Amino acid sequence: GVSWCASVGVGSGDLAEAYLRSDPPAAEELNALRRHVAAALAGLDVPRPPSALAVGGSATSLRRLVGGELDVPSLEGGLCVLAAHRADDVARRWELDPARVRLLPAGILLLAAAGAAFGCPLRVSRGGLREGVLLEAHAGATTGQGGASTIN
């Protein structure tokens, strides 16, 4: 079961739209975005688990760019690549969707802040939230125990 959860109203798409105007993103845009993310996570009483997983589009794309472990050096390296090269060039080199590459600086800053809050690097999950819900529902169906979940 879940021992802790919090929902924070930030996402890489909204943040990229609000803060990232240049291609590649400018340092002042990244700094403003970083401040916004820090403010959004301020005040959360986050547990310190031994490990944490990252799911979603940014995490999946980052697996191609920096690998499966999202620690400080890998995330900083990924941000350096994104800040030094146009999105289309990064997309072509790492075989990523150009629209996703434009969101990745925001995704990196969110994931870096989450890893810092948890006090451990994030590992990119091979599945995601939807896969977990389907597996839970399937397990309930095969055992006769319902298995319904509501996600808000």
How confident is the model over 126-142, as pLDDT tens digits? 766 666 555 556 555 55
| Local confidence band at 108 (pLDDT 50, 70, 90 cut-offs) | very high
pTM: 0.82
Q: What tens digit of pLDDT does each residue of 21-68 get?
A: 999 999 999 999 999 999 999 989 888 988 888 888 899 999 999 999
Lowest mean pLDDT across 4-8, 78-82, 117-121, 132-136: 132-136
Highest mean pLDDT pick, 1-15, 35-49, 51-65, 74-88? 74-88
pLDDT average, residue stretch 111-121: 93
Choice between 75 and 133, residue whose per-residue pLDDT is larger: 75
Q: Which residue has the higher pLDDT, 47 or 80?
A: 80
Bridge partner residues of 54 (DSSP):
124
Q: At how many degrees (to 10) do helices 98-118 and 72-84 cross?
A: 150
Instruction: Identify the band that residue 146 occupies on the pLDDT scale cut at 50, 70 and 90.
Output: very low
114 Cβ neighbours under 8 A, 6+ residues apart: 41, 52, 54, 122
| 105-134 average pLDDT score | 84
Asked if pLDDT for residue 15 goes beyond 60, the answer is: yes
Place of tokens 């802040």: 113
